[in-house]
Structure 1
Amino acid sequence: MDSGNTAWVLTSAALVMLMTPGLAFFYGGMVRSKSVLNMIMMSLGSMGVVGILWVLFGYSMAFGDDVGLGLLGDPLEYFGLNGLWSPDSLSGDIPTLAFVGFQAMFAIITVALISGAVADRIRFGPWLFFAGLWALVVYFPVAHWVFAFSDEESGVVGGWIANTLGAIDFAGGTAVHINAGAAALALALVLGRRRGWPQEPMRPHNLPMVVLGAALLWFGWFGFNAGSALAADGAAALVLVNTLVATGSAMLAWLLVERIRDKHATTLGAASGIVAGLVAITPAGSSVSPLGAIAVGLVSGALCALAVGLKYRFRYDDSLDVVGVHLVGGLVGTLLIGFFGDGSTPAGVDGLFFGGGLELLGVQAVGAIAVLAYSFVLSLLLALLVKAVVGLRVPPEAEDAGVDESEHAEGAYEFAGFAVSRVARQSGSAGTTTASTATTALTANPDSPAYEGSKQ
């Protein structure tokens, strides 16, 4: 066991765990105020459901010995992580449980990403039901395809994309982002559009919260990407730098598209560009140089900024642009390895621009399309199943009032209480207005700050 590598992987696992609450803030700030708690709860709920499933079956399905054709690991080989907590159980030169914990965080945030497409209208219980089914049927097998490498010395057989096809996905462009993006599209289609969309404006209610979420994601993503080297070495250092510059260039590219198209560079655009760059460099971090990473960021930032408008053309309601950012960004990053791959990097592959020909690009395309198709079809079937068995969508009146109230009996902001206490303080010295009178007066007046709060 190498203590330095172990410390780095454990730290990276903690960084990746922080990304899910970061995602909750990012998504929570992008919705209307009557849905913010529901968005946060969907991310938090994913942590509970997927974390438990990962220990029971998930790790074994993803990293157990293949049961045939590189499609699935043996679900019972490590049931309940049996035997993996032994001090002698190593994955490379780190404890196996360190690797188990690190990969658990990937499974959790992949499921949480899907929730952004169905904001404002999905019931919380059925969401957890879908999340558990999706992790078992879609994520765990795809993680086996992409992340499970064969070991000739021990005789362990891994997944088909990693070993038979040989596609490069350093930290999850296919298994995480294309996978989640395709599932988000399928779930949004089954659920249907929000009431009033796209005629009514549905703007983010708290942009500072969005930026805070994006900052936490960027911070945690250094563990997500550089931690995937599974060692504190030069490969991790290159991936860390690539994650920095690709993300910065994607943000600038997104803002440039906004400036040319809309005449304004927005805060929401900056935060979205950050995530687009993080997504795109995820598969390519170990296979491109820093200059190549800048190019990956520029292309992904511009294309994702354009792609988020596709939902208006094709009339699918992807509430928070999971398809435009994660599906498109994952595809862009995966395919650009075929162009910008540099043989001098740890991955050791040359793309088209470095004399490698079209073979690598073809391999990357096959891997990306396979994950996209599998995830979309299975996610569509699972969503239809959950809809038929328990129902998915909140009633129209609950959607109008807000899913925070209907699903959680809570509100994120107590506007009415603030207004009542203010009026009571102002009138208390004269002794003419009680708190109850102030409440009645405020909530009956459409111009008062408490009126909107009383309706919610």
Structure 2
Amino acid sequence: MTPGVAFFYAGLAGEEMASNTIMMSFVSMALVSIQFWAFGYSTAFGSNGIFVWSGYINVGQSPSGTYDTEIPHTLFAFFQTQFAMISPALLSGGIVGRMKYGSFLLFIFLWTSLVYDPLAHWMWSLKLDDSWAITAMGWEGKMGSLDFAGGTVIHISSGFGALAAALMVGKRYNHGEPVKPHNVPLVMIGLTLLWFGWFGFNAGSEGAADGIAATAAINTHLAASAGFLTWVCLEFVMSTKFDPCGAATGAVAGLVAITPACGYVYPWASVIFGVVGAATGFTAIHMKNHLRYDDTLDSFAIHGCTSTRTSRVVGAFYGNGAQFTHQLVSQCVAAAYSFVVTIIILYLIKITIGLRVDEDNEVNGIDLTYHGGFAYDYKPQDYAVKTENSDSSDFFIVGAPDQS
């Protein structure tokens, strides 16, 4: 799924930052995988201290006896790594094109260690009690808060982290101008990977091939479909256009919305989650334009706002008034914790190695500064249509891109 985020975000971003946007997601995949292997998995799920499963020591091919007891422990650890590495990739959408790449590397390492790992521990960590029964170990799990596949742990944390990062890094030099997607097919390829990958994301969280996993899969698909159609309708009312990038964003909002509830609710309810998720994301994006914060690719709107709205609704469809309260408490704590700790991490980076690229590099293209060239070996302005002495509309190069 993380490559899906890379392509989705890169297509939505400007072409001068496409490589940087892709590299933010892929470096999250690589760096967080090593972090999770070294100590992150043990921090999030271990019960006897930070080093109990560091380096996957004692993580063998047999079931753990605590987590997903029908699959090998190594497979569970691998699955949870996918959750950890996608979270900072989602967050990166709030700051693309204007943060130093080295600073970003340090940031995602610290953010995963200090934000994601503790939140995963609070919600999902388990232990064997004195009677050998599996019980919750983290305080949110003990309270009874529900998060089937990461609505709070992943989407609220990354969404509010994106908001904090956008505020700390600051606005783009041309803030106020709309961010125009430069590659619609790339957006749709990213959506394809995300939509398909989300089946594993949600259904796989059951840890078994059973009825709950099947319900989670169909709920995931219905919510994405409802989100897609809801966004199309809302955008048509606003602009009389059927924008493919908007529709893709609506599908992602539907996927985000159903994530905390996919294994708990009936299929008819998943349609409601998809509609509410897309409507929430659509409204949040339009509010952003009035509030003037610069969340470049709307990570906060789609992941933070949407998941905040639907995570607590789990209590209305699965539980009672007490469950609603548990959901509200856990999501408020997760949002506040992620926001505050992200601010602290970025402030420390800012006063040491700095956060922001200078304006010249931002204007000329961050791809050239940090990645040695642009994502494409041409730019649209470097091409012209051949119109003389030709029956075709072939293109020819009239000038190589200036990458000096």
For the aligned pair, the TM-score class normalised by the smaller chain equals over 0.9
* Residues 326 and 157 of structure 1, relative CA distance in 2, 3 Å threshold: closer
1:196 aligned to 2:174?
A: yes
Letter in 1 for 2:88: V
Runs of 4+ residues deviating >3 angstroms: 86-91, 154-157, 416-423
- Which residue matches 1:54? 36
Percent of aligned pairs sharing the same letter: 39
Structure 2, unaligned runs of 5 or more: 390-395
Aligned-partner SS, 1:303: helix
Counterpart position of 1:454? 402
Q: How many angstroms apart in 1 are the aligned matches of 2:276 and 2:25?
A: 29
TM-score by length of 2: 0.92
| Superposed displacement of residue 331, structure 1 | 1.0
Q: Using the alignment, how far apart are the partners of 1:31 and 1:245 within structure 2?
A: 28
- 2:247 pairs with 1:284: no
**Cα distance in structure 2, aligned partners of 1:416 and 1:27:** 19
- State the distance in 2 between where 1:269 and 1:418 align: 26
Match among 105, 109, 112 for residue 86 of structure 2? 109
1:397-453 Cα shifts (integer Å, max 9, x gaps)? 000001100111111111279969999xx9xxxxxxxxxxx98xx44xxxxxx5xx3
Q: TM-score by structure 1 length?
A: 0.82
- Structure 1: gaps spanning 5 or more residues: 1-18, 67-73, 342-349, 351-355, 427-437, 444-449
TM superposition shift of 1:151: 2.7
Which string of whole-angstrom CA distances, capped at 9 and with x for unpartnered residues, describes residues 83-140 of structure 1? 2136475541221111000000000001111110001111111101000000111100
C-alpha RMSD of the superposition: 2.2
Instruction: Describe the superposition over 1:170-215 as per-residue Cα deviations: whole angstroms up to 9, x where unpaired.
Output: 00000000000011001110000001111x3331100111011011
- In structure 2, what is the equivalent of residue 132 of structure 1? 109
User: Contact 1:32–1:203 at 8 Å: present in 2 too?
Assistant: yes
CA offset digits 1:248-290 (Å, max 9, x no partner)? 1111111111122222221111100010000010001111100
For residues 319-372 of structure 1, the C-alpha deviation after alignment (integer angstroms, 9 at most, x for no partner) is 00001100011112202212222xxxxxxxx3xxxxx3x222111111110100
What is aligned with 1:446? Answer: none
| Whole-angstrom CA distance in 1 between matches of 2:135 and 2:294 | 43
5 Å matches for 1:295-314? 295-314=272-291
CA deviation profile, 1:133-167 (whole Å, cap 9, x unmatched): 0011110000001111333217876211112x101
Residues 193 and 417 of structure 1: is their aligned pair in 2 closer, same or farther, counting only changes over 3 Å? closer
Corresponding position of 2:339: 376
Q: What does the per-residue CA deviation read over 1:38-82, in whole Å, with 9 as the maximum and x for residues that have no partner?
A: 00000111111100110111111001116xxxxxxx211112111
Partner of 1:324: 301
How do 1:215-294 and structure 2 match up within 5 A?
Answer: 215-294=192-271
Change (3 A) 1:169 1:417: closer
Distance in 2 between residues matched to 1:406 and 1:391, nearest whole Å: 16
Distance 1:118 1:416 in 2: 23
1-side partners of 2:265 and 2:375: how far apart? 43
Q: What residue is the counterpart of 2:137 in the other structure?
A: 158
Partner of 2:393: none
Quickly say closer, same or farther: Cα 1:334–1:89, change in 2 above 3 A.
Answer: closer
Contact map agreement 1:150 1:159 (CA 8 A) in 2: no
Aligned to 1:21: 3
